[in-house]
Structure 1
Amino acid sequence: MNSKKQLVKGIDVSDTTLEEQKTLNSFYLREIGQPADFRESPDLSEYFFIEEIEDRWNAYEASRLAMQDYPTNAEDFLSWYNKLHMAHRKIVAPFFTRLAEHSTLEELTFYIAMENEVDGRFDDVISLAQLGMTGDMKLALAENYWDEMGMGSLEEMHTVLFTASAEKLRGIAGLSSEKIQVPSAALKNGNLLLMYALRRKYHPRLLGTLAILEHTAPYRFAKTVQAMRRLGIPEDVIYYHDMHIQVDANHGKQLIERVLMTLAKDNPDIIPELCIGCLVRYNVAVDYYNSVEAEMDKITLQKEKEY
């Protein structure tokens, strides 16, 4: 844990540790476990410990947000959001340029494995995001969810496709899942979605997070596909990633136009929460890509030592 600590309203806002993020991840997966695993569902007494970690993590993320006046109306919110989207593209561009143009097979495989940490339960996150919604907003997320479900085809379900793609890529690279160490920032990247989805008080933040995640996805997938084709990866492994260049472009558009803007117009007081969701996702994503790049460097260095 970081040695420098702050207290905000009595909460320690130092960053969470890898072990704490592992604890959160395990807990969240038990909360949304399969029906047959009902006996593994968390007991009420466990939530107090989890809430302490979550409160500290959220206080830490809040401490990283620059002091600013959030938009107060839908028009200003859209302008604010578009500027954040452009800033996000600019700050992650060096990582994705490296991935597309210079990554080794092992580095690419590690990145895909980390992406699977997020995508593994993404369909459940989208289903939870719909709770409590009505009207066209609910339809927008339902359409997103139906895409995640492969539009009714088990073989086309996105989690199935991604898991198969990641497994095939690990086989090609000769990189076993046991050798892949997940950094704390990668766990955060997935845990943020699960925490926001499972804690109803963060529902607006989840929607902001989902919007910027889906809106920035086509660029990430395009660069990933470029890397895969450069390295001669079979098309059946590339299929999932190539498909999402168009699919997520539509998801991002629908989330912004039919969900975020509707909320901003009808309930302007919700705008700060939407903004916080976008900003926290921005920071967590930047940390994530930095951590993945650091691990990619280690993988390459280790491979060079072996030769």
Structure 2
Amino acid sequence: MLAFAAQSDRSTDSYFSDDFQQSLAVWNRKRLAPQFPGQNWREELQNDARMQMLEGEFIEHMRGLVQKQAMEAPTDPTGFVEWFENLAETGPGQNDPLFPWLAEAAARDDLRWFFEQEAAGEAGFDDLVAMTQIKLPEQAKMELARNYWDEMGCGNPKGMHGPMLQIVAEALDVEPSIQSTVSESLALANAMTAMATTRRYAWHSVGALGVIELTAPGRSALVAKGLRRIGLSNRERRYFDLHAVLDVKHSQTWNQEALRPLISEDGNRAAAIAEGALIRLLCGKMCFERYRLKLWANGTDRSLAA
């Protein structure tokens, strides 16, 4: 585990350094894995406390970047849902030129590298939903439960999203690792994990998960088109084809069955839910920019993305 001292005045570059994000990613992978009790549990708890301080600093820094925009979110349920849905067009990273290029022009190696980054930064939507729903009000909890069941393939192992993601990885011969993943992709996964596992950020996690459902379908469809163009079969690209359709339904029900009743019950939740959504979108925007910097570094024809 890399050593970091807690400090509250880090720059954005410091939080997005490889060392910082890799350290959080290694810690998250270890602490969320099923384990047996050991003799050194006291030392592990001390390390967990230190890492939670660093994780908290990271999320508070991200909150500081989005708070001004989040304050614009209405606190009435109808107004908030309308504001939230508009993030699909106005939110950070939306309509990024990377995705039309992936659909129409990217080579197999380009798509392979892109998927490697996305897969390594995948925090596990099913697990994030499961952790977020703890002690939520009943109606919102039921909506998250329905979403979780879909993520689990409605009881069919072949329909589970994790195994479908693995099929794409095998088709592209990708073995994602923390060390080969850009810090922005790790930061996205680390931010999502932090919000889902820390109850003071529970409302943030609701917003972050909801905005994934809202914004993912269009990008998933373009990635699926690129994978089809380079020859992946229906089975091999099913993960992206499914998300291009299923997430549209999920977004509609999430907004009406989770967001609306939560804001109706307490308008003070609006700012936290908005912050979580914007943190997720901002992390995504940083990923897309880093991906383009890498993929277009060698004079790639970007006419499709102009």
Q: Does 2:9 correspond to 1:12?
A: yes
Write the letter of the residue equivalent to 2:216. A
Aligned to 1:305: none
Write the letter of the residue equivalent to 1:189. L
Q: Percent identity?
A: 23
Secondary structure (helix, strand or coil) at the match of 1:268 reads coil
Change in Cα spacing, 1:278 to 1:117, as seen in structure 2 (3 Å) is same
Alpha-carbon offset, residue 211 of structure 1 = 0.7
Aligned pair partner of 1:141 in 136, 144, 147: 144
Change in Cα spacing, 1:89 to 1:54, as seen in structure 2 (3 Å) is closer
Alpha-carbon offset, residue 85 of structure 1 = 2.0
Instruction: Judge which range, 256-265 or 73-82, deviates more.
Output: 73-82
Aligned pair partner of 1:116 in 119, 137, 140: 119
**Contact 2:59-2:191 within 8 A present in 1 as well:** no
Write the letter of the residue equivalent to 1:52. M
Aligned to 1:107: 110
Write the letter of the residue equivalent to 1:67. K
Alpha-carbon offset, residue 180 of structure 1 = 8.0
Alpha-carbon offset, residue 58 of structure 1 = 2.2
Q: Does 2:34 correspond to 1:21?
A: no
**Contact 2:22-2:178 within 8 A present in 1 as well:** no
Aligned to 1:7: none
Residues 1-21 of structure 1 deviation map (CA, whole Å, 9 limit, x = unaligned):
xxxxxxxxx821412121111
Q: Following the alignment from structure 2 to structure 1, what is the Cα–Cα distance between the partners of residues 99 and 179?
A: 20
Residues 259-297 of structure 1 deviation map (CA, whole Å, 9 limit, x = unaligned):
111111111111110110111111111001111222223
**Contact 2:132-2:206 within 8 A present in 1 as well:** yes
Secondary structure (helix, strand or coil) at the match of 2:180 reads coil
Alpha-carbon offset, residue 206 of structure 1 = 0.4
Aligned to 1:6: none
Aligned to 2:213: 214
**Contact 1:14-1:56 within 8 A present in 2 as well:** no
Instruction: Judge which range, 201-210 or 43-52, deviates more.
Output: 43-52
**Contact 1:221-1:241 within 8 A present in 2 as well:** yes
Q: Following the alignment from structure 1 to structure 2, what is the Cα–Cα distance between the partners of residues 168 and 110?
A: 13
Task: Point out where structure 2 has 5 or more consecutive residues left out of the alignment.
Answer: 1-6, 301-306
Aligned to 1:4: none
Residues 36-87 of structure 1 deviation map (CA, whole Å, 9 limit, x = unaligned):
x555988221133213322331232133226353322222212321232211
Alpha-carbon offset, residue 299 of structure 1 = 8.1
Q: Does 2:199 correspond to 1:200?
A: yes
Write the letter of the residue equivalent to 1:275. A
Secondary structure (helix, strand or coil) at the match of 2:66 reads coil
Change in Cα spacing, 1:102 to 1:202, as seen in structure 2 (3 Å) is same
**Contact 2:217-2:248 within 8 A present in 1 as well:** yes
Structure 1 length normalisation: TM-score?
0.85
Instruction: Judge which range, 89-98 or 239-248, deviates more.
Output: 89-98
Q: Which has the higher contact order (CA 8 A, sep 6+)?
A: 2
Aligned to 2:82: 79
Change in Cα spacing, 1:176 to 1:270, as seen in structure 2 (3 Å) is closer
Task: Point out where structure 1 has 5 or more consecutive residues left out of the alignment.
Answer: 1-9, 302-307
Q: Following the alignment from structure 2 to structure 1, what is the Cα–Cα distance between the partners of residues 219 and 171?
A: 20
Write the letter of the residue equivalent to 1:208. G
Aligned to 1:190: 189
Change in Cα spacing, 1:271 to 1:300, as seen in structure 2 (3 Å) is same
Aligned to 2:271: 272
Alpha-carbon offset, residue 207 of structure 1 = 0.5
Residues 167-198 of structure 1 deviation map (CA, whole Å, 9 limit, x = unaligned):
2112xxxx665798211000011111111111
Alpha-carbon offset, residue 212 of structure 1 = 0.7
Q: Does 2:28 correspond to 1:31?
A: no
Write the letter of the residue equivalent to 1:60. H
Aligned to 2:164: 161
**Contact 1:209-1:277 within 8 A present in 2 as well:** yes
Q: Does 2:128 correspond to 1:125?
A: yes
**Contact 2:93-2:284 within 8 A present in 1 as well:** no
**Contact 1:92-1:289 within 8 A present in 2 as well:** no
**Contact 1:22-1:187 within 8 A present in 2 as well:** yes
Paired residues, number: 287
Change in Cα spacing, 1:75 to 1:50, as seen in structure 2 (3 Å) is same
Instruction: Judge which range, 37-46 or 277-286, deviates more.
Output: 37-46
Report matched runs for 1:25-104 at 5 Å. Answer: 25-35=25-35, 39=38, 43-65=44-66, 67-68=68-69, 69-70=71-72, 71-88=74-91, 91-104=94-107
Write the letter of the residue equivalent to 2:197. L
Instruction: Judge which range, 62-71 or 188-197, deviates more.
Output: 62-71
